[in-house]
Structure 1
């Protein structure tokens, strides 16, 4: 099924520009948030599937990623700042509520948004969040990038020039996504990693327990940077959580039918009026 696609932009109070894509239409909004260093393009297949089911879908390039601005100040970056950007996007398009879909860093941003603005969040679909058990592995994985971008910026700039020269139209989709991920400006990369690693990574356990919307958690046991223990911990904390175990980190990328089906079913349930009334009745008792 063909769906409409439009490029949009918004400007933050800081003057920084964010870019997003808008798929479909209507009032059943979904905001898609990418993993760290990646771009909104990673969500293109899921965005099109959701839009074909009647959703109004907004994949967003967070600050420092993709085609959004990339300031070199670490203070511009944090999970809290990213949640503010999600809120700014909802304000920009006039969406009162949205389903938030996030992967890795995007999952943490979705959790932060649900804590900051619970009335704006219809539900959460979270793949591989990075919480207490994954912090050390995340630090070991990201800190060398920050250091390398600081001490050897010419190497990062050289990689950027090479990947920008490769025409995306002749590449397989996920190869193009990988090339986009390598398109990093060293100053902005170091600032973004610094700001995220040494700022607030996610809501604390007490705040997470207060999240009262439906949550679908997707995780697997094969990735030490996104340990299964974090998924289990989050499932125990969230009162309306359901867990789906994937077969590995690439299942949703290379063989998406099963997880796409779970995501669409969950999204439809989140926007079902009867489910909303049931949640309201439970919260009032």
Structure 2
């Protein structure tokens, strides 16, 4: 799929078929493969699921221009994907920055979004931890690019088929080019990271919000705050940051039930946890 400029190549994977669309957006530095298990589970229930590599991630193009990287630009890529697929509406879900992208998509084009799945969004309470986490990455990529190159050369030859799935996803996150990595982190750190609270309160579609305890980069307070802001949200607290990765059945059931409900009906206001 080509971006709006006609220059940027974006890759995606489809699971299932039909008109009940779900788009899943990965977290920072990761790629679409991280959502393959959830995509397969949703597709098994009759949903048409698409996982997308955002610009600068996975197998999509990786330009070295910070101006092309922002949460708003990522949301525009989700909308371009829907146009490419001929999908009038979709549930948009994401993890970490991907959750922010889902929110931004609902703000930019509310008529295109059927529902939201937001796992560990990065909002007001994550600012300090985000700077402490990603500023060193930016500095290393900009001024010590050999460190990024070395990490890539060490991890890329490891066959993903011989390591556990999530270990492979972690290895994939080291497959970076220093110039593109610096541009991406720069663009995200100095741009709008998420819609404002005022904008978030105007999102009227059903939303499933998943928060994690004891996660400083994705504070549970951010997820709880988002669930309070969204007028038609369901809040689910994960048992740990690893639950959806290593023991996904409970959260998969929540996601499946939510997605099927969005496509069966517009739904009523929901505020209960699971």
TM-score, structure 2 as length reference: 0.96
The CA distance in 2 between the partners of 1:58 and 1:119, in whole Å, is: 19
Shift of 1:164: 1.3
The CA distance in 2 between the partners of 1:277 and 1:199, in whole Å, is: 34
CA RMSD, aligned part only? 1.1
Shift of 1:118: 0.2
Unaligned runs of 5+ in 1: 1-8, 280-285
The CA distance in 2 between the partners of 1:159 and 1:259, in whole Å, is: 33
Q: Does 1:161 align with 2:131?
A: no
SS at match of 2:266: helix
Shift of 1:240: 0.3
Q: Does 1:276 align with 2:266?
A: yes
What is residue 28 of structure 2 aligned with on the other side? Answer: 36
What is residue 250 of structure 2 aligned with on the other side? Answer: 258
In structure 2, the CA distance between the partners of 1:14 and 1:198, relative to structure 1 (3 Å rule), is farther
In structure 2, the CA distance between the partners of 1:234 and 1:118, relative to structure 1 (3 Å rule), is same
Contact 2:66 2:187 in 1 (8 A): yes
Shift of 1:166: 1.0
The CA distance in 1 between the partners of 2:6 and 2:258, in whole Å, is: 35
SS at match of 1:31: strand
Q: Does 1:214 align with 2:227?
A: no
Shift of 1:278: 6.0
Shift of 1:12: 3.3
SS at match of 1:26: coil
SS at match of 1:123: strand
Deviations 1:215-267 (A, max 9, x none): 11101221011111111211111100110000111100000000000000000
Q: Does 1:126 align with 2:118?
A: yes
Please list, as runs of the form range in 1=range in 2, the aligned pairs for 1:230-269 lying within 5 A after superposition.
230-269=222-261
Runs of 4+ with >3 A deviation: 9-12
Shift of 1:11: 3.7
Deviations 1:82-140 (A, max 9, x none): 01000000000000000011100000000000001000000001000000111111111
TM-score, structure 1 as length reference: 0.92
2:102 pairs with one of 106, 110, 128? 110
Contact 2:232 2:268 in 1 (8 A): no
